[in-house]
């Protein structure tokens, strides 16, 4: 969850002594006096903390389910935020970690890893209310992020999630879980399983390691991970840096298209409402290329649409696998939510394929 004033961020303040004690381990401007759960992220646990001066922070517990080496996650974030801070155009265009009292950037408590960010004032995350113009601004934000870290050698970062965008691995995992059928749910997903596995050949599209360069990439480049100015909607900064590691620029582009160039939220249960939206694709691509185009190689530019296809395939495979396993990875608010997410992404995947030639023609004009 981003350090912003998102629409879900107005939780009632409290004085949870455990959370306040954790926040007190960090070098806040004054003692922490209030804390409340914040946001609705899938993975980490987040609290908005306020100190005695009224200054706000975001305290986060890093999920050990998602990130088995949290110290490596934090080392990457320290490296990237310092690199971005050195190029800062304003105090709000990058995340700022608050150090601990002993000079570190994270603290351990009962086997859990915690960190503290400065709260990005007067900022907001966008969701279903995002306009086409907002998509262009989000493209600018993620493109600017890639451009700003282009001179940071990828080998300086830890690989915190091995095989994160390894699509053949996700296909194999889905096959394995479907065969084991631990909860007897396979009978509910016959058509979805058949559709997902029909993309097995597509999953090998980036097998050649020399096809594109490894860069410092975000690896979770969805619309919700950009902060915008509350009043002007100017893009401020990219957040949720837990997944930053060596990767492919086209995957960041593709994940943004998956999450932004669609007509419905990813858990919309009525798949007839799920469509690829061409004008949103064109808007995002225009902003992204304006910012990142100069640093991308010819091969990267040629494979942008492949990133959109493969990242949508990835989420289809992962949501369907998680549903079959019993919703053990992605947080859910209701029964069947991960199945709805899988069906949603499979519908979007099919529509992206239907616009395959159109995407190539559009990218060639930008």
Model confidence at 2: pLDDT above 50: no
Identify any residues that bridge with 109 across adjacent strands, giving them in sequence order.
112
CA distance 333 to 349: 24
Q: What percent of the chain has pLDDT over 70?
A: 94
Pair 95, 215 in one domain: no
Pair 157, 109 in one domain: no
Model confidence at 231: pLDDT above 50: yes
Mean pLDDT calculated for residue range 319-340: 95
Q: Is residue 28 part of a domain?
A: yes
Pair 136, 74 in one domain: no
pLDDT tens, residue by residue, 21-61: 999 999 999 999 999 998 655 556 889 999 999 999 999 99
| Domain assignment of residue 36, given as a range | 17-121
- pLDDT at position 89, please? 82
Given a contact cutoff of 8 angstroms between Cβ atoms, the answer to whether 66 and 43 are in contact is yes
Could you say which of 92, 121, 150 is where a domain stops?
121
Q: Write the CATH number for 183.
A: 3.90.1200.10
Pair 83, 160 in one domain: no
Q: Is residue 126 part of a domain?
A: no
Q: What percent of the chain has pLDDT over 90?
A: 83
Pair 114, 162 in one domain: no
Pair 154, 117 in one domain: no
Q: Is residue 12 part of a domain?
A: no
Could you say which of 98, 121, 144 is where a domain stops?
121
User: Burial of 31 by CB count in 10 Å (0-12 exposed, 13-18 middle, 19+ buried)?
Assistant: exposed
Pair 159, 105 in one domain: no
Pair 101, 136 in one domain: no
User: Burial of 152 by CB count in 10 Å (0-12 exposed, 13-18 middle, 19+ buried)?
Assistant: middle
Pair 43, 136 in one domain: no
Identify any residues that bridge with 245 across adjacent strands, giving them in sequence order.
217
Lowest average pLDDT, out of 7-16, 82-91, 344-353, goes to 7-16
Q: Is residue 8 part of a domain?
A: no
Residue 350: how many other CB atoms lie within 10 Å: 15
Pair 102, 168 in one domain: no
Q: Is residue 127 part of a domain?
A: no
How many domains would you assign to the chain?
2
Identify any residues that bridge with 14 across adjacent strands, giving them in sequence order.
35
pLDDT tens, residue by residue, 270-279: 999 999 999 9
Pair 29, 153 in one domain: no
Mean pLDDT calculated for residue range 148-165: 96
- pLDDT at position 5, please? 39
pLDDT tens, residue by residue, 162-206: 999 999 999 999 999 999 999 999 999 999 999 999 999 999 999
Q: Is residue 68 part of a domain?
A: yes
pLDDT tens, residue by residue, 207-225: 999 999 999 999 999 988 9
Q: Is residue 6 part of a domain?
A: no
Q: Is residue 9 part of a domain?
A: no
- pLDDT at position 153, please? 97
- pLDDT at position 15, please? 67
- pLDDT at position 146, please? 98
Q: Write the CATH number for 38.
A: 3.30.200.20
* DSSP state letters, 91-109: TTSS--BPPBTTS-S-EEE
Mean pLDDT calculated for residue range 329-346: 95
pLDDT tens, residue by residue, 3-30: 443 333 344 455 688 999 999 999 999 9
Pair 73, 98 in one domain: yes
């Amino acid at each position: 969850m981003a350090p912003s004033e998102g629409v879900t961020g107005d939780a009632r303040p409290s004085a949870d002594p455990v959370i306040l004690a954790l926040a007190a381990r960090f070098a806040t401007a004054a003692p922490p006096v209030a804390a409340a759960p914040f946001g609705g992220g899938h993975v980490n646990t987040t609290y908005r903390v306020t100190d005695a001066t009224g200054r706000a922070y975001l305290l986060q517990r890093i999920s050990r389910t998602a990130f088995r080496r949290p110290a490596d996650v934090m080392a990457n974030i320290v490296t990237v935020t310092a690199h971005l801070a050195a190029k800062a155009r304003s105090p709000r265009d990058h995340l700022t970690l608050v150090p601990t009292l002993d000079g570190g950037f994270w603290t351990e408590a009962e086997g859990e890893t915690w960190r503290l960010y400065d709260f990005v004032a007067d900022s907001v995350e966008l969701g279903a209310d995002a306009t086409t113009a907002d998509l262009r601004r989000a493209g600018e934000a993620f493109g600017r992020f890639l451009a700003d870290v282009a001179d940071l050698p990828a080998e300086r970062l830890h690989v915190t999630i091995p095989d994160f965008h390894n699509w053949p691995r996700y296909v194999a995992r889905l096959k394995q879980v479907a065969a084991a059928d631990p909860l007897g749910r396979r009978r509910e997903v016959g058509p979805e399983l058949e559709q997902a596995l029909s993309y097995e050949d597509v999953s090998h599209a980036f097998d050649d390691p020399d096809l594109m360069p490894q860069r410092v990439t975000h690896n979770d480049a969805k619309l919700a991970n950009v902060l915008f100015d509350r009043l002007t909607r100017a893009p401020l900064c990219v957040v949720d840096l837990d997944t930053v590691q060596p990767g492919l620029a086209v995957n960041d582009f593709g994940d943004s298209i998956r999450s932004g160039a669609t007509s419905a939220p990813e858990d919309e249960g009525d798949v007839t409402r799920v469509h690829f939206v061409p004008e949103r694709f064109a808007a995002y691509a225009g902003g992204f290329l304006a910012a990142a185009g100069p640093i991308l190689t010819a091969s990267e530019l040629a494979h942008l649409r492949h990133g959109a296809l493969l990242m949508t395939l990835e989420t289809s495979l992962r949501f369907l696998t998680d549903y079959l396993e019993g919703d053990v990875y992605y947080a859910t608010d209701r029964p069947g939510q991960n199945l709805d997410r899988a069906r949603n992404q499979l519908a979007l995947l099919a529509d992206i394929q239907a616009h395959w030639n159109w995407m190539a023609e559009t990218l060639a004009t930008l």
